Amino acid sequence: MNLEIKDLTIRLYPKKSGGRYINVVDSVDLNIKGGEIAAIVGESGSGKSFLGLSILRLNPPDVSKIVSGSVKIKCLEKNDELDIIKLYRKDLPSVRGRLISMVFQDPNTSLNPVIKIGEQITEAIFAHEKVGKLEAKEIAISYLNRMNVDGRARFNSYPHELSGGMRQRVMIAMAMVLNPCFLIADEPTTALDVTTSLQVLNLIEKIRLESNLGVIFITHDLSIAKNISDKTYVFYAGQVMECGKTEEIIDNPLHPYTVSLIKSVPSLSKDYMQGQRLFTIPGYLTNDDFMPGKCRFYSRCFKKGKDCLQNIPLSLNKINSERFVRCLKV
């Protein structure tokens, strides 16, 4: 099983921008195998959700379009091999849920509040499989049980009758019910408290082992990436700034953005001592940072030089077979 994204570029036409656009995802390469967890880490507004949505061609068509690239999926278990970007729109439902599923940050907006959760899960089954009502119900119950939700007791519950953590586990049951090869989890724990968040992370870890599931885990939290992922893509203003084995990236960050990001996490920072002010990266990510012609991290970089404005570090420099960095000074 393999999911390979090559040179993916998505153009966003922000509202009231007079037709001006930004490449909200720019020349992204990403590779993930079955059973692997790849984290996409970066701060809010860097385009992580756009990237996740575009893999399933769910990026909002009124404001964005995919301009280039490929998303090739090879799923031998389902006897399928295709490029999602080349598919006709009418064929996309056969990919969504069956080959790749997605879980979003907020289960409150993803679940329909007026439909019982069991019915919402069986609907997903009926959309893809020819099964009877009773069989679909049993499948839904077994998946809820697998996600540590008492399926039989909760089948007829409405979303508001469940806790936040339970709703997120229902979302994961729904995402997994067609046994997909890959799961995109977009900040699935951000809306949860720490303990519930840990339960959901453990659950994702469990299903990736049981189902040889490949997971793209989107997060703004480097410590979560450290705990859950095998490899990490550090994302900033639409571009991968650095990627490689998670352990190597945390232990030896090379890109100035990664260095700054790690320094901003108290529990990970080597410099952090009690009583010392927490480090924050100066400035903000703005639409200007997405503009071509300079390094996208330039305005906030502690290592920048004049040449970073003149030479565009377009490509990722290869450090080793798995490690790549997009910086003129590394």
Ligand X SMILES: Nc1ncnc2c1ncn2[C@@H]1O[C@H](COP(=O)(O)OP(=O)(O)O)[C@@H](O)[C@H]1O
Of the candidate spans 43-51, 87-95, 115-123, 299-307, the one that interacts with ligand X by CB under 6 A turns out to be 43-51
Give the C-alpha separation, 240 to 244, whole Å.
11
Give the C-alpha separation, 85 to 89, whole Å.
10
Smallest separation (angstroms) from ligand X to the CB of 44 = 4
Q: Which does 200 bind (CB under 5 to 8 A by kind): ligand X, ligand SF4, Mg ion, none?
A: none
Q: What part of residues 30-59 is at the interface with Mg ion (CB under 5 A)?
A: 49
Binding-site size for ligand SF4 (CB under 6 A) equals: 12
Q: Are 157 and 116 in contact (CB under 8 A)?
A: yes
CB nearer to ligand SF4: pick between 191 and 327: 327
Which among 324, 234, 252 has a CA at the least distance from the CA of 38? Answer: 234
Per DSSP, the three-state class of 164 is helix
Of the candidate spans 8-16, 191-199, 213-221, 294-302, the one that interacts with ligand SF4 by CB under 6 A turns out to be 294-302
Determine, following the binding rule CB under 6 A, whether residue 188 of this chain makes contact with ligand X: no
Smallest separation (angstroms) from ligand X to the CB of 285 = 8
Determine, following the binding rule CB under 6 A, whether residue 313 of this chain makes contact with ligand SF4: yes
Give the C-alpha separation, 280 to 282, whole Å.
6
Q: Which two tokens stand for residue 265?
A: 């996490």
CB nearer to ligand SF4: pick between 143 and 324: 324
Using the 8-state DSSP alphabet, how is residue 154 labeled? H
Using the 8-state DSSP alphabet, how is residue 96 labeled? B
Contacts with ligand X, residue ranges (CB under 6 A): 12, 14-15, 24, 42, 44-50, 60, 63
